[in-house]
Every structure is written in C-alpha cells, then in structure tokens.
Amino acid sequence: MNSKLVSLFCCLIMLVSFSGCTKVTQLVKDNQPTKAELLAEINEEHQRWEAAPAADPTPYLRHYDDPADAQKYLDYVTDTYSEYDAEKELTVEEAKEDVNYLFDAFYYDFAFYDYFGGHTVFDQAKAEILQELQAKDSLTCKDLQEILVKHLTFIKDGHFNINHNFPAEKEIPFFFRQVMFVKTDSGYQDSKGKTVVSVDGYPDLDALFKRSISKEGYLVYYPVLLKEAKFDGTEWDKHVCNEQLTVHYADGSTDVLTADTWRQYYKDLPKGQNTDLRQTDGIPVFQFNSFDGSFLQEVNAAAAQMSDAAISMLDLRSNVGGYEEVARQWFNRYSRQQVFSTGVRYSVLPASLVASPSTSKTPRASNDNILILLSGKCSASCAEITLDISYNLDNSLIIGENTNGSMISNSGHIELPNSKCPVTMTASTVYLTPDGSDYFEELRGFFPDIWVPAKEAETLAAKLMENLK
C-alpha cells in the first residue's frame, strides 16, 4: 500500500470516527455562561431544597403483633459469611426451611417490613414461593435464589439483595449526543440555530434536555433518558437503548437521534489502596472507593490539601459506601466548618422515632472555591449521603450520571441456614430526604447538575473549567 492510499485510508477512518459529531459553532460559544453565572444558577437550584418540607418518617415505623416480638430484633443478623455453592443440591424441605427462616427474618429484623406492605404482602409472597417449591422434585441453591428474587420485586430498597442479585430494577442513563443543543431565549436550538419545536413522545422538553458538556468542553444540552435495568450480581457490562428520538425543528426539518451504549464505570485501585490523589489539567482529584474508617487519616489529609485549591474534584464514581462519619469529616476538613446534611437518619424501632443528628434546619456553609463531585451509577449509600451534604455547601457542582439509588436504607447481613445464601436487608434505620422526586429517589438516585457519561466525567469537567471564563 503506497503512502497516498495510507493517507486516504486514515482520512476515511477519521471521518467515520467523527460522523455524528457536531461542529462547535459561534452560537455554542456565544451561549456559554461564566463560571460565576453557572455556579449562581446551580447554587439556587440546590438552595431551594432547604425550604422543602421534610419527608414524614412515621410510615416507616415498625409495628409488631406482640410487643415481646421486638426483643427478637436483630436475632437473625449475623457476621457469619459461609462459603456459598450455587450448584449445591437442596431437598425441597431444606429449601422450605430457608424460606421460612427468611420470612421470619423479614418480620423481626427488616426495618421496611410494614412500609412494603406488612403481613398482607409478605405472606402472599411467601405462599407463592412455597407453592413454586412444592412443584420441584429437586433444586440447587441457585434455583432457590432465583425463585426468591422473582417473588420479591416489590421490595424497592437499593440495599436489599439475594446473593448480590437485586430484585428491583435500577435506572440507568442513556445519552443522545449526535446533535448538540444550546438553551437560548428562543428555546432549545441546535448548533446551527434551528429551534426545536417538539420531540415525539416527550412534550416536556425541559425534562428531556439535560445540561451537559460537549466533547470539546462546552456547556451544551443533550436529551437523556432513564431506563430500568436489572442488576443480577455480575458487572453491568453494557446496555442498549432501542428507542430513537425524533426531533422536529421550526423550519420543518427533523433529526432522528440514537442513544450511546451505556457501560458501567468502575475504576479499581491497586490492591490494598482505597484512595488516590491525582492531578487532571492542574486540578486536584481525590478518589476514594469506600468510606472505610481505616483510611480516615489520609481522607482528612487530602481534604485539607484540597481546601486551598480554587477548583478541586471529589471522585465518587467508584465509591460504594461505608461509614457516614468519614464523609462528614471530609466536608468539615475541606470547608473548615461544619457542613450539615439535608437528609435525616431516623431509627424506626418500635415506639421510637429518633433522628440523628438533628431534624432542625441548619445554616448553609459558605465556600469561595469550586468543589466538583463526580458521580456514577456505582456511587451508592454513603457516597449518596456525601452528595446530600454537598447540597448544603456553596459552589458544589455534581457532574456525571445519576447515582445508584441506595440511600434510604442501611445494611444488615442474613444467612439462610441450608443454602448458606447471603441476604442483605435494612436492619434498623431509614435516611429520609426532603419530599420531591426531583431531589432523590430510591433505585434512581440523585440527578447530577451536569449530565455526562461517568467514564468521561473527570476529563470533561476539567475541559469545562478551562473553557468557562
């Protein structure tokens, strides 16, 4: 192959690679806010939740048939983690014993037993499971696991799982990025100035078009759709959205948009390492994958170091939770003041409704610097509480995907006696945020302030900070 053919071949590859991308026009550049304007807008969006009414915790209170039953609270929770063999054979009677054990644990230990329907709903689910087992001649531990998952989809608790299989579906984002849009006084316009008048099936354009970042680092808008997906204990490799969006413009033309394939983002750190402090385009980025108390010293050290930076990033994209106190200390060290959460954790034990740390409205924390929090679908539990705290700190900016949606609950470990199947269920408390689904919703999570695929969030956030005046 001669040099001319090689050059031609390379050009063709580049054309294919960039097909569907839209050139950054002067219209896009003219509609960029300054950093101050963007932060003022997002601060206002965050502040409106300070005045929102608090969620009512009373529906979550536990009610036992006999007050003496409360004494068996946590009897089923264990620290034992036996080896689980999915292919181990069980007799039908052994499987039934495991089912009876699990539903006893639900009644005595599950904080959300009454909230998800109490005896009426759980007894029906148990009867259906036992009926299905009765029709079996033999089964494996995996068979039992799958039967349990199938009949427990009514438990909308992001922590609840059967051997890491989540009965309830979680919502993942799909990005339609073939055409970039800007928001002007005329509405949503493409980069050439054509005004969107409608999108088939989506009358609310403000709900469809999300604030985002182009590959060049400009603030733009893209359609984003949330779709339910099952997490079955394996890595969420990739998901495809088969839906297309037909965009109609004022000049009579149309665009038909397709979604990017969604892939789970998770960045492992070296063995034995939980934190990483790095630089991206001169911006300090602190990643930690778990709020593990044993790493508190280095977490606090990083917060103190970042507190003087004009812009810094807290990478929570691979953080699956841990201890709240670690998150609270990080914010206090970073801001050099106490930063309170918007949500409140309650104990829901019988005849008890105890809030921690406080149900009273707390002052908002000032912050002259910019704190960017990177989020993804793996950001769960205490990572989400971290975002909840950030709403109470000026100039905090959440960039990435909606989070896991596992914040309302906490974790308790149950082990079924015959199959040794592990079960995670909420044991004692509920974490409630202000009423309003726009803030947080279990299984869907927090919305970011700026929507971008989690894998690209760090790079695009740095580009945006560079481009904005």
Kindly report, residue by residue over 384-416, the tens digit of the pLDDT: 999 999 999 999 999 999 999 999 988 889 999
Same domain (yes/no): 454, 319: yes
CA 29, CA 328: separation in Å to the nearest integer? 38
Token pair of 457 as six digits = 């969030």
Residue 71 lies in a domain: yes
Residue 206 lies in a domain: no
What is the chain's mean pLDDT, rounded? 90
What are 93-106's pLDDT values in tens digits?
999 999 999 999 99
Token pair of 178 as six digits = 């073939």
Residue 93 lies in a domain: yes
Going by C-alpha positions, the residue among 301, 291, 458, 286 that lies closest to residue 383 is 291
**Which of 162, 189, 209 is the last residue before a domain boundary?**
162
Range of the domain at 293: 45-57+265-412+422-467
Same domain (yes/no): 107, 50: no
Whether 235 shows a pLDDT value over 70: the answer reads no
Same domain (yes/no): 336, 386: yes
pLDDT score at 273: 87
Going by C-alpha positions, the residue among 356, 323, 353, 432 that lies closest to residue 388 is 432
Same domain (yes/no): 50, 135: no
Same domain (yes/no): 132, 53: no
- How many domains, in total, are found in the chain? 2
Token pair of 446 as six digits = 């927090």
CATH, residue 115: 1.20.920.70
Same domain (yes/no): 145, 280: no
pLDDT level of residue 364 (50, 70, 90 thresholds): confident
**Which of 110, 141, 162 is the last residue before a domain boundary?**
162
Same domain (yes/no): 142, 53: no
Whether 40 shows a pLDDT value over 80: the answer reads yes
Same domain (yes/no): 282, 382: yes
In this structure, of 195-209, 335-349, 409-423, the range with the lowest mean pLDDT score is 335-349
CB-count exposure of residue 334 (10 Å: 0-12, 13-18, 19+) = buried
Same domain (yes/no): 441, 302: yes
CATH, residue 290: 3.90.226.10
Residue 349 lies in a domain: yes
Same domain (yes/no): 79, 51: no
Residue 97 lies in a domain: yes
User: Is there a cis peptide before residue 417, judged by omega within 30 degrees of 0?
Assistant: no
Same domain (yes/no): 323, 370: yes
Same domain (yes/no): 269, 149: no
**Which of 134, 162, 190 is the last residue before a domain boundary?**
162
